[in-house]
Structure 1
Amino acid sequence: MRFVRYNGNQLGLLTDDGIVDLTDRLGLTSADPLIEYMSGEHNAEKFVDSDPDHSIDKVTLESPVRRPGKVIAAPLNYEAHIEEAIADKDITTDEWFSIKDKGYFLKAPSSVIGPSENIVIPFEDRRIDHEVELGFVMGEETKDADNETAWENIFGYTVLLDISVRGDQDRSNRKSYDTFTVVGPAIVTPDEIDDPQNLDLSLAVNDKARQEANTNDMVYTCADVVQYASIGATLQTGDIITTGTPEGVGPLVDGDSIEAEIESVGSLNVNVEERDVSFEDVNVQKHGQTN
C-alpha cells in the first residue's frame, strides 16, 4: 500500500487510478492521521480496490507524517560519497567517520515538508547542497532492537531530500532549517518492495543528472541504522529515519528544479527559492553586548 497525506490533513491510499480517502472511511480525527493509523487497530487493505475519491493532480500532497517526533539521519553511508566528502572540504571538515564511530545526528522535525512546497535557501552567501536518500517511517515503538526486529518494525519507505548548509557548524544546526527535509510523495509498505537494499535512486537538477546509485552501496543497512539508533533512544511510531546519500551532491540556487526518484518507492519534484539574507550580516550578540 502507498499512504499519502493531502489537502492539509487527509490520509489516503495512492492507487493507479487516484487517491482513496481513508480519513472518513476509518474515522481518523487526529492532527497526524498516519501516526493515528499506525497506532490503532486500523486496516486499509479492504479499500485498495475502491474507486478513487480524488485525482492526484487535483490535490496538494503534504509530508506523509505531519510532524515526526524525531528525524534520525545516518552520516556518510555510501562508499563513493565518503571519498567525495574527503576530497571536498566544503562537504565535511572532518576526516571520514561512520555511524559506529560518531553515531547518527538529528534533524529538527520542523524542517519536514511535503513535495508540494518549495525548498527555501536561508542564506545567499552560503553553499547549500541537495542529498537524495532512502527514508523510512517506524511503525512501532522500538528499543534495543536486534536486526530482525528492526526490519519488522519499519512501516514503510519514502523518498527523502536532506538539504544541507555546508560549513563547520554542527550537522543538526545546518541541516535543520525550515524546508530542509522533503518527504514524500508516499509511504510505501514493505510488501510493495522486493529488497530495500537493492533500489536504484537518482536526483536531477534542472533536468541534469547529479546523483545516481543503488542502495546496495550503503555501508550500513536500514536495519543496522535502526538497531544502532534504538540502543540510545526509544524509536517511536512515526519517527523518520534517513539512510545517507550517495555521491554527486551539489549546490542549489534560486530557481532550481529538483527531481528525485527511488525505484519502487516513487518520485518527487520540488522547486528552490532564496531569501534575500546574508549569513555574514546575521548579528548574533553575546550575553551582555549591546548595539
Structure 2
Amino acid sequence: MRLVTYRPTILSEARLGAIVENNVIDLEKLGQHCNVDLPDNMLSFIDMGPNVIKVASQLLTEHAKCWPTDTCLPLSNVKLLAPIPQPRKNIFGIGLNYVEHVAESSRTLDTDKALPEKPVIFSKPPTTVIGPGDAIEHNAQITKQLDWEVELAVIIGTRAKRISKESSLDYVFGYSLMIDMSARDCRRAGQWIYSKGQDTYAPFGPCIVTADEITDPQNLDLSLTVNGVTKQSSNTQHMLFNVADLIHDISQGITLEPGDIIASGTPEGVGAGREPQEWLWPGDVVEAQVENIGSLRHPVVSV
C-alpha cells in the first residue's frame, strides 16, 4: 500500500488515506462502510501492528471497482501532508553512510577521511518535518551554506530492542523519502543537531510504501535536482551500513518504537562537496525522488 496523510480541503483536519491509481481512499471511512475499525491517522494505523496492513489491503482490493460513498477523492484535489506530520520522537539521522560521500565530506567539511566503523547517528527534531510542496526556510541571519541531501527514510512498525541483524527488516513498517537539509556553517564543536535540526529541514513524503511492496531496500535509485539540474544520483546498494545494519545498531542501545523514522544517509553530490561549493538560496527549487516511492518538490524561501 501507498499510505498518505491528507487534507480533503484547506480547512479540514488531516486524515489517513491510501493512494489507488490517481485517487486517495479514506481508510477510516472505508472501514466504517465495512464494519472494520480503522483509524484516521498514520501513527494509530502503525500502532495496530502488521495485521492491519493485510486487513486494509483486502478492503482496498474488494472495493477497487466501486468505492463506497464519500471514501474516494481524486489525488489532484487533496493536499498531501508529511505521512507522519508530527513524529513522536526525533528522527534518527545517519551521517557519512555512502563511501563517496565520506570522501567528499572529508575534503570540504573536516570530517574523517576513514570510513566509519559504526554508523554515525544524529537526530532531527519533529519540528523539522514539512510535507510535499511546503517551503524550505532560508534564514540568512543564521546560514549562508544551506545544503541538500536526498535519503531513503525507514519507518519502524514494531518495537525493537536489542534485535539481531538477521531479523531487523521484520521490524520495518515501510519506506519513504526525506531530504536532510543542512546548514553547513551551523555545526558547533562537531555537533550536527543545530545544523540539521532547524525548522523545515526535513521534507518528508509523499507517502509511506509498506514494506511488503519493497522487498529489497538496498536496490533503489535515488536522486536530487536543484532548479532542474541533477546534483545527486545513486542507488541504496552503495550504503556503507545497510538498513538492517542501522536498525540492529540503533536498537542495541536505543529502543525503536512504532512510528520512529530513520533517515538512512545520502550519497555524493551535496553542495558542500562540489568545486566550487554550491548553496541553496531563496528562489531555488529542490526536487528529490526515490524509486518506487515518489518525489518531493520544495521551493526555498527567505524568512
TM-score (norm 2): 0.84
In 2, Cα distance between equivalents of 1:98 and 1:56 = 43
- The code of the aligned residue for 1:109 comes to P
* Residue of 59, 72, 97 corresponding to 1:47: 59
Name the counterpart of 1:93: 110
Residues 75 and 99, structure 1, Cα contact 8 Å, conserved in 2: no
Name the counterpart of 1:37: 45
Residues 105 and 111, structure 2, Cα contact 8 Å, conserved in 1: no
1:17 maps onto 2:25 in alignment: no
Residues 20 and 47, structure 1, Cα contact 8 Å, conserved in 2: no
1:151 maps onto 2:159 in alignment: no
* Residue of 117, 126, 129 corresponding to 1:112: 129
* Residue of 164, 173, 189 corresponding to 2:210: 189
Mapping for residues 1-291 of structure 1, pairs under 5 Å: 1-7=1-7, 8-26=13-31, 33-40=41-48, 42=52, 43-49=55-61, 50=64, 51=67, 53-68=72-87, 69-88=89-108, 92-96=109-113, 100-101=117-118, 103-123=120-140, 125-167=143-185, 168-169=187-188, 170-250=191-271, 251-275=279-303
**SS of corresponding position for 1:12:** strand
Q: Deviations 1:147-169 (Å, cap 9, x if unpaired)?
A: 13210011000011000000332
Structure 2 residue ranges without an equivalent (≥5): 8-12, 32-36, 272-278
After alignment, is 103-112 or 214-223 more displaced? 103-112
Count of equivalent residues: 270
Structure 1 residue ranges without an equivalent (≥5): 276-291
**SS of corresponding position for 1:148:** coil
**SS of corresponding position for 2:162:** coil
Residues 256 and 272, structure 1, Cα contact 8 Å, conserved in 2: yes
Residues 161 and 251, structure 2, Cα contact 8 Å, conserved in 1: yes
**SS of corresponding position for 2:160:** coil
Deviation at 1:93, TM superposition (A): 3.0
In 2, Cα distance between equivalents of 1:199 and 1:34 = 24
In 1, Cα distance between equivalents of 2:136 and 2:184 = 16
In 1, Cα distance between equivalents of 2:129 and 2:171 = 22
Residues 28 and 38, structure 2, Cα contact 8 Å, conserved in 1: yes
After alignment, is 42-51 or 69-78 more displaced? 42-51
Deviation at 1:94, TM superposition (A): 2.9
Deviation at 1:131, TM superposition (A): 0.4
Residues 76 and 97, structure 1, Cα contact 8 Å, conserved in 2: no
Deviation at 1:80, TM superposition (A): 0.8
Residues 281 and 300, structure 2, Cα contact 8 Å, conserved in 1: yes
Q: Give the superposed CA RMSD.
A: 1.8
Deviation at 1:190, TM superposition (A): 1.9
**SS of corresponding position for 1:134:** strand
- The code of the aligned residue for 1:108 comes to P
